[in-house]
Structure 1
Amino acid sequence: MRIGVIGCGYWGPNLVRTFSELPDASLVAVADRRQAQLDGMRAKHPQVDYFCSDHSDLFDLDLDAVVVSTPPETHHDLVLECLEHGLDVLVEKPLATTTSDALHMLQVAEERGRIVMVGHIGAYNPAVNGLKQMIAAGDLGKVRYIDAVRVGLGLFHPRLNVVWDLAPHDVSILIHILGEQPVAVTTQGLACVQDAVEDVAYMTLLFPSGVLAHARMSWLDPCKTRRMTVVGERKMVVYDDLESHEKLKIYDKSVDAIRRTDTFGDFQFAYHYGSVFSPYIEFEEPLRVECRHFLECVSERKRPITDAYNGVDVVRVIEAAQQSLKDGGTPIAIAPATAIPPVTVGVPNLRVVSANDERVDALDEVASLRIAENGNGQLLDEVSARGTLPRPAVGEEINEIDIRGLDVNAGRP
């Protein structure tokens, strides 16, 4: 698959390295306006055919996809330009710096049938996904609250503040592990080094389930920290991204309130102190997992885990957090998550069967069904949908299945 990269500043070189190492990718071109950056990339990656200062030169190279790793305020125009040239796009976080721009990018991608994937790298971290599985399985009990710390010394951005720089990481991880979008946010911060550019911020998010999440972000801290603590009613977990091996530590600790009585001695709490356990996680570089997932999505025409819808949702939260910061910490309601449009597909001659000829409660998986078209009239090869579908009777033929809200992968002819 022929890939081009636009932007070789802070993160771009890592993307160039990773795509150069993936066997299913052929890194054809690298673009950056700074000649010094291009010279450095050429020295490290002599196998790349084209190095150019004008990104539009990439549109004449018969590429399959482009990676955009430029300052966030440039994402909107660059991604639209790539989409208009028929290219799928992996763009670094955040998708855009306004919700309206992010929605515009989503709309154009959907209209043109192109893939836009956002580099929310936390969703591709094996440790984060291990944490997500624990929460989903109920291993921690009901999640009470989450505390995240993402601090260090720099890098300072001349225009966007620390919220736009660091919060997308924690917001995307929180949405990923909890499976829900926050409904309100409050943010307070300080501009210590540059006027009007906050380098320290404290953000609190409220989720529909009642979970409260707090995030501390700073460019002005002596110790680099990337830690998230999840406190459940039965157990607690600490995720430390800077740990080389034990990235997840499970604390078998909890507190129960003892029923109130009339004696002073009964006004107590029951503390449970168990062991601390670090589960084995088969770790792989998250960026490599992310880039490989992008190649799979482009090749198989499937929706990425961190697609444009996810990108819009994260931008919507950050924009609300920024508004709260501007208003001195006033709580700001967050609009509902961006809904994936409903799609109803025709499924000719699909018959429901069971071993004992009894009625089945749900059709849990439909795989590789040849269909005529989706809700937009787009011709497809097949669709694979996983989720809970309507309750059909045994032997009943199903002509249509509404697959909104399911995990759907649709191939193209």
Structure 2
Amino acid sequence: MRSVKRILLASILMTLPLTALAGTQSIVLGMGCFWGAEKRMSEIPGVIDVEAGYAGGDAETVGYEDVLGTEQRRLRGKSDLRNHAEVIKVSFDPDRVSLETILKRFWENHDPTQGDRQGNDVGSNYRSAVYTVSDAQDAVAKSTRESYQQALTEAGYGPITTEIAPLRHYNRGEAYHQDYLEKNPNGYCGLGGTGVAFPGEPAKAMPDPLAADQLDFDLQLIMFEAQDCPFCERFRAEVLDGWQAEVPIAATLNPRPPEGWTLEKTLFATPTIVLFEKGKEVSRYTGYKGDADRFWKWLGFQVLTPEQQRIAFAQGTEPAFTGSHLDEKRPGVFVDPITGTPLFRSDAKFESGTGWPSFFSPVEGAITLHEDNTHGMRRVEVRSASSGIHLGHVFDDGPPPSGKRYCINGNVLSFVANGE
């Protein structure tokens, strides 16, 4: 949380020109979406305030909808106006942090080689930019750009596309855009740049990409995470640490895929969980805010057959005597087909004659029960506690010791024999 002093100072800065407050300096930077840029740059010691806004376009006065509308008209060929970029105004104390340090963090905290885009955000309003208010700022911007270009070239990146120009037509962003990620965390952390350190700065602790020969080329999940990302830590604690799913998963702090593997598009936030098939991305899940059911549903739509999806997500029922595992009698355990979590042991299975696999008791804590009044009947629905998928129903006509009959769709069960 900001201190009261910082809030008061920020309110003063909002109403004054960029160089009006004695003892402070400001520079305007475009790093793509200003939400993540505001959060990252505000963490630099010596930065007093970071404000979201718009700058660099032809119109003198704009708001968020104006910028979006101008971009759409440009794309349709109905306007040749120069659009504004989403920017942040970084106000700092030069006695505590230099402009050069501010710009070093600017270069490191986004990808300045992408032209009119930044990650998933495409358009000239997301361009990389440095808007200056003096010849001195212009000189530092160009000098640091030249230095960082050398580091990027050595790392295999292309030329920097950042616009460096005198500031014009700056507009402060709407109130709801200020401190947006602080107020609306959205369940993800900004990826934070290319991972290439500015020359002379300590190298970032960036591990090598995952080794392809240590992964499953046919079907593999990779979790791309970041340091100091609380949403990544929560995903680890609530999903990854107890992973039992059949699809293997690996985690990495490097935003690049294994050598020879391809991402469909640039990563823009963490955690991002990508499903690769034959080394190519087929789907991804970005962000996590404790919604494990939503994650498992996403994975289910990738790995389950259409018939399994109908049962799992639309409370469907397989015709009697047609499902899997009806005659399975080996010692083992029946598990959730998405999470791999044990649901029923084979020694709790019995022959009910109904045409569906039947059990007199589940694994403790493996299921949840829900009232079901569909189809003109009053029944008790059985769902998997781990993924939330529909399994079947439970009735009071089972054998001892429970007297229950858990009537389960065999097509949404996987079986793991003892010793496998």
Q: TM-score, normalised by structure 1?
A: 0.27
- Structure holding more strand per residue: 1
Which gives a bigger RCO, structure 1 or 2 (Cα 8 Å, sep 6+)? 1
Q: TM-score, normalised by structure 2?
A: 0.27
